[in-house]
Amino acid sequence: MNKEAWQKALAEVTGNPLGFDENDVASISHPSLSLMVNFYYRPDGVVLYSQVGLVSHDQQLSELLAANCMWQQTNGATLSLFEGNQVLLASLFTAEQALQWASQYNEFLQAAAFWAEKLIAPDETASALVELTPSIIASASFV
């Protein structure tokens, strides 16, 4: 699917107009859930991602790892930890999954809201936190 087709399809799924910017990112705010959901267009699909909070102690790290195991507590999405203990939830939508997009989107929102409530919210005075953009995410080191 091309970018315009994705914009139209995702607007139908989310109920909000959607337009990718020069970085191939579009965002939708969900104030009732205190979430911002981002959509990153790639040739193989669209990645949904949301910064869901900060890890404040080691026990939460264990919980994140356990939740990722076979996607038990993420509704099929993946939790990742970035610099500054920022936690990101991400999921890939592909054209082949078109019939499931609405349910996948709702499941993503449920998982993001769950983890946003479970983790601590970034403090407004925490100016050192970096917005997790696709370029920052893509440059993450993998072991």
The pLDDT tens digits of the residues spanning 55-99 come to 988 888 888 888 988 888 899 999 999 888 899 999 999 999 989
The pLDDT tens digits of the residues spanning 121-137 come to 655 435 455 676 666 66
* The CATH number of the domain covering residues in 3-134: 3.30.1460.10
Average pLDDT over residues 18-45: 92
Distance CA 41, CA 61 (A): 29
26 token code pair = 């579009």
The answer, as to whether pTM is greater than 0.85, is: no
Domain coordinates of the chain in residue numbers? 3-134
Contact between 132 and 88 under an 8 Å Cβ cutoff? The reply is yes
